[in-house]
Amino acid sequence: MSETQQPIERRFQGVGVSPGIARGTVFVIRPEDEELPTRKIDESEIPGELARFEAALVKTREQILEMQQRIAESIGTKDASIFDAHLLVVEDRTLIDEVLRTLDRDRWNIEHVFHQVASRYAKTLSEIDDPYLRERALDINDVCRRVLRNLMGHEAKSPAQIDVPHILVAHNLTPSDTAQLNRKLVLGFATDVGSRTSHTAIMARSLNIPAVVALRNVSEGLLTGDHVLLDGYSGLVIINPSDQTLWEYGELEVKKSAVDVKLDELRETISTTLDGRHIALSANIELPSDVELVKQSGAEGIGLYRTEFFYLNKEELPNEEEQYENYCIVAREMGNQSVIIRTLDLGGDKFMSALQLPAELNPFLGWRAIRFCLERVDVFKTQLRAILRASALGNIRMMFPMISGVDELRRANAVLEECRQELRNEGIPFNEEMEVGAMIEVPSAALVADLLAKECDFFSIGTNDLIQYTIAVDRINERIAHLYEPTHPAIIRLIKIIVNAAHAHNLWVGVCGEMAGEISLTPLLVGLGVDELSTGAALVPRVKRAVQSLDVGVCLQLVDEVKNMESAEAILEKCEAVAKTYYPELMV
């Protein structure tokens, strides 16, 4: 190659999980598989192996606690709590007991036994059709490697040892790897695997490091020393960016910086259209610690509190007092602002070992959410009592997930009334007027929305599941993920049916799925008559700006133009055209 000839630009497309643009030199971390010792042992050696195992667990726990403390001091206790899941692995009696049984039965050295048992556990979780639980398999693998290193007396290789500015590239980065990154030297990172829900992605956002995941084979296509540009917004990694690409991204950075400044100024403003229609703008949370992000975003309340995450990190079912205290924290923090608590969407692919739920061939169509609760009334009533009690302290609302028909909603309301009566008899205060809603996530519920409207106070459309069930597309399945289309004509018609039914019965209706945060679809949702949008806290300012830039008449015209269109792609193009006309700075 001559000195004047530039290397060819190459692009990898992944998923942007932490916004920002980074340019720099790559440092590739390649896994170095350590060979585990494997040997048969005599019965007399078992006590010694047990002692080594116990010492390794103790040391691993100390290392995790030390790392947790370091992270808490540098970026806060909320992000340090990520390592609670690692501590649970070290202290998991089910896992430990299985290791002890296998050691006694098979008589292999403890490194071999622990690796085999932990790998089976991780494999089981990795095959579950739920992104959150699949990511927990990474926690087990991370802790397993740490325990094995302690058993063998080896020192861990850490990305923190890199002492020059770089963009980190790896097949995968564990949460502990990410937590130890030197923020002054790591410009960004890219991995072959991962998702928006991974702990690594959460840490990247907390550290404010641009990150792209799900690049498939980027770690194989790059070499240490390569020059790359990483786009955490669109999920692009560009190798050997051309002068033209660098110029374009320089312009993009300037524009995005200017937009971010303006969005920060919107926090105290209300999401009202140009012609005066107010669209309530809320945020979704998983844990009480997320409330601070909601406040910072300028949201008007919490539109979806996913309570199952409080269950998933427990080895035992949380009792009424635990849940009550949990909900009270959120109620007090939010003051007079609305907090909508979704009763647990547990079962099927989201499970707890304490419940011993049966494995199902088709978990998304199985024993989950309200179906599970109506059969396990003991679990259901414990949560309902806790929610009712918390309603005395704030503006609490509640909604039932995955309602498929009137009978389910009536049965859920009947159990709720039992709990109300119990609290009355016990003299425990609660809000007698607490609003109760139904989530519309199943096509059957959408089609009988006029009947459901007589049995509740509001609707919340869970578009993620509504799209999945309507089009019969598992969006986790890479082969058919392209068929997951929010602007499919059937989805638009179903949303209109739901909104019309709600308004005919003087109910308000919200959207709490991913569609709520897609600013290209904001004109469509406003035109369809949606009253509330609830999205991730980070997206609230962008959605607010979109709403404030729109005129309802324009949105109604958009709906009129697309209502008879046959193509999801064509409808999306129409929506994007409106968005680019009224808030072009957000669509860059």
Residue 156: pLDDT band with limits 50, 70, 90: low
Domain 265-586, classified CATH 3.20.20.60, yes or no:
yes
* pLDDT recorded at residue 34: 52
Which of 112, 115, 166, 199 is labelled catalytic? 199
Common-topology check for domains 43-152 and 265-586: no
Question: Which entry of 373, 456, 512, 575 is annotated as an active-site residue?
Answer: 512
Residue 199 is a catalytic residue? yes
Give the strand pairing for 280-285 and 301-306.
Answer: parallel
Cβ–Cβ under 8 Å, residues 535 and 569: no
Residues of the chain with pLDDT > 70: what percent?
A: 81
Instruction: Specify whether 373 is catalytic.
Output: no
| Mean pLDDT of the chain, nearest integer | 84
Q: Note the pLDDT of residue 432.
A: 96
**Secondary-structure class of domain 43-152 per CATH:** mainly alpha
Residue 118's contacts (CB-CB under 8 Å, 6 or more residues apart) are 95, 99, 140, 141, 143, 144, 147
d(CA 204, CA 75): 11
* pLDDT at residue 334 tops 90: yes
H-type alpha helices, 153-230:
175-179, 199-207, 218-221
**pTM score, two decimals?**
0.68
User: By the 8 A CB rule, do 485 and 491 touch?
Assistant: yes
**CATH architecture group of domain 10-32+158-244:** 3-Layer(bba) Sandwich (3.50)
Can you give the pLDDT at residue 583? 94
Q: How confident is the model at residue 197 (pLDDT cuts 50, 70, 90)?
A: low
Residue 350: the pLDDT is 45
Mean pLDDT, range 115-140, rounded to an integer: 70
d(CA 27, CA 145): 22
**Distance of alpha carbon 569 from alpha carbon 572, whole angstroms:** 5
How far is Cα 82 from Cα 92, in angstroms, rounded to an integer? 16
CB 121 within 8 A of CB 140: yes
- Please state, in angstroms and rounded to a whole number, the distance separating the CA atoms of residues 28 and 239: 13
Domain ranges of the chain: 10-32+158-244, 43-152, 265-586
| 368-394 mean pLDDT | 93
Residue range 390-419, pLDDT digits in tens: 999 999 999 999 999 999 999 999 999 999
Q: What is the mean pLDDT of residues 124-135?
A: 62
Six-digit token pair at 160?
Answer: 């923190």
Whether pLDDT at 87 is above 80: no
Q: How would you label 189-218 residue by residue, b for 16+ Cβ within 10 Å and e otherwise? A: bbbbbbbbebbbbbbbbbbebbbbbbbeeb
